[in-house]
Structure 1
């Protein structure tokens, strides 16, 4: 039988999340490095010696980057939006230079709000993954990347000149959609056959606000709060009456008031929003 001691502590969960993010970041950078090296080795514009030299340079630079501890502090750091965009350009430079891909960058405003480190890192990883997916799935030769910031969100636009057959349900975009959703963001994909695909991404700069418990947001009496907590736990009227020492009719009266004040029609709706707000609060 499991006990509360079997559950991970908040500190343990935070450390697990940080570890997962670090692993994801390393995987993203490995993918960029490998794609860049492959692009160099496949390039028809370089001879064997030049391609080997460039591949070695890319591998060495990647190793140096892996040893850096800068990104380990991204959760507590802020990055100017133009600086974060410059790092993205640097990440994509080998692919653009040796992969035959024309990457057009539309610079973000320099005076925009600084990005939280986690958002800046995720945005670069999302764009890199999207570009690789478009090149692979869409056979794109030109990609246009634009960043903007409205003060509350980082807005990312990616457009290619590929076949225009990719959709938001495509397996190649699933990791991107999951990463965007994990940050409480939005992803929209639109394609036109023969004209290319456009990705519009919104990443909030602030974490979502915690939901206010229903019992705190509505003017319930003390007895109504007691009834609400029992209703949310799944207790029926007779059990509520026995526990509170009141009659069944009094419970029905309180439940009726709860429904009216909460603006719902059924006991199930009341239970759902009460339980949901309690989870958001905790």
Structure 2
């Protein structure tokens, strides 16, 4: 007997989970490669020691790739302290031999256990931030802080770079996408000459099921026009030109649509239009 085809919504959920797993895997590879490069370039190690350390990093990553099956399970819970310890272990070679000085501020031991997808996303967020700082070479020090208030995981990342980052910069796009996918919030506070602080809030419980568009009765005429443009695949600049409004106004209407539908990002909103 042929198994039934998954429902469209279930298929989208499966595709989203698959994309998240691929992103997590790619992110892990990037950290491993950056760690290898930092080790081989380090002026703190002699050639033989550098080779031995690089081999150890590669072997450890290979073993983790083969045995770390829980990374593919979103339903597992991780103690917040344990999830943070795994993050530190992921970054250990890069921190030890790279040029970036990283300070870790431990979360409280009695914090609520994290759902698997939250723990994975949190580590990915921090790794992406550290990789960005390493690649741009704008910062020399980074401070990473986790906390848990019982309802949310709170992540603080502060650097001593130029202090020119803004919330919509491409550098922060991977972080913003991770946060948005989990219904979280990203705040960026930059001070020129003093650095940038990222404040990230990720809810530990899944967001409510989005409200179907056909059930909404409180959409304005302009919001319906924006939805029609999204249905046609138009980008913000194209929507603004088509409706003779500014891009800022387009973003404002999309933000209102996200709130009204209970969706967490543009892609999820568009998926309801099909």
- Asked if Structure 1 and Structure 2 have the same fold, meaning a TM-score greater than 0.5 normalized by the shorter chain, the answer is yes
1-side partners of 2:212 and 2:68: how far apart? 40
Alpha-carbon displacement from aligned partner over 1:229-260 (angstroms, at most 9, x marks no partner) = xxxxxxxxxxxxxxxxxxxxxxxxxxxxxxxx
Q: 1:211 to 1:96 in 2, by over 3 A?
A: closer
Instruction: Tell me if structure 2 keeps the 8 A contact 1:143–1:158.
Output: yes
Q: Deviations over 1:121-160 (max 9, x none)?
A: 0000000101121233352111110001111110000011
Matches within 5 A, 1:7-22: 9-22=8-21
Pairwise CA distance, 1:33: 0.2
- Distance in 1 separating the partners of 2:213 and 2:7: 28
The answer to whether the 8 Å contact 2:211/2:261 transfers is no
State the Cα deviation string for residues 198-240 of structure 1 (Å, max 9, x = none). Answer: 11101111111236789999xxxxxxxxxx7xxxxxxxxxxxx
Q: Which residue of 1 aligns with 2:240?
A: none
Structure 1 contact 129–176 (Cα < 8 Å) conserved: yes
Q: Identify the residue that residue 162 of structure 1 maps to in structure 2.
A: 161
Contact 1:82 1:109 in 2 (8 A): yes
Q: Helix, strand or coil: the match of 1:194?
A: coil
| 1:249-268 matched pairs, under 5 angstroms | none
Answering whether residue 145 of structure 2 is matched by residue 146 of structure 1, we say yes
Match of 2:188 in 1: 189
Instruction: Give the aligned partner of residue 117 of structure 2.
Output: 118
Secondary structure of 2:11's counterpart equals: helix
Comparing 150-159 and 134-143, the one that deviates more? 134-143
Determine helix, strand or coil for the equivalent of 1:75. Answer: coil
> Residue 157 of structure 1: SS of its match in structure 2?
strand
Equivalents in 1 of 2:105, 2:78: separation in Å? 18
TM-superposed deviation, 1:13:
3.2
Residue 72 of structure 1: how far off its partner (Å): 4.2
SS of match in other structure, 2:145: strand
| Residues 9, 55 of structure 1: alpha-carbon distance in 2 compared, 3 angstrom cutoff | same
- Match of 2:73, SS state, is helix
Taking the aligned partners of 2:158 and 2:134, their CA distance within structure 1 comes to 11
Aligned to 2:43: 44
Could you tell me whether the CA contact under 8 Å between 2:70 and 2:76 is conserved in 1?
no
- Secondary structure at the aligned position of 2:74 is classed as helix
Where in structure 2 are the equivalents of 1:36-75 lying within 5 Å?
36-75=35-74
**Structure 1: tracts of 5 or more residues without a match:** 218-227, 229-271
- Please state if 1:92 is matched with 2:87: no
CA shift for structure 1 position 17: 2.7
Structure (1 or 2) with the larger CA radius of gyration: 1
Contact 2:77 2:113 in 1 (8 A): yes
- Structure-2 change in CA distance of 1:138 and 1:185 (3 Å): farther
Instruction: Name the counterpart of 2:244.
Output: none
Hey, what's the Cα distance between the residues in 1 that align with 2:159 and 2:140?
A: 8
Unaligned runs of 5+ in 2: 218-256, 263-267
Match of 1:76, SS state, is: coil
Q: Answer whether contact 2:144 2:156 (CA < 8 A) is retained.
A: yes
Question: Using the alignment, how far apart are the partners of 2:16 and 2:136 within structure 1?
Answer: 31
- The aligned length equals 223
- Indicate conservation of the 8 Å contact 1:165/1:196, yes or no: yes
Q: Secondary structure at the match of 2:95?
A: helix
Whether the 8 Å CA contact 1:74–1:116 is kept in 2: the answer is no
Output the TM-score relative to the length of structure 1. Answer: 0.71
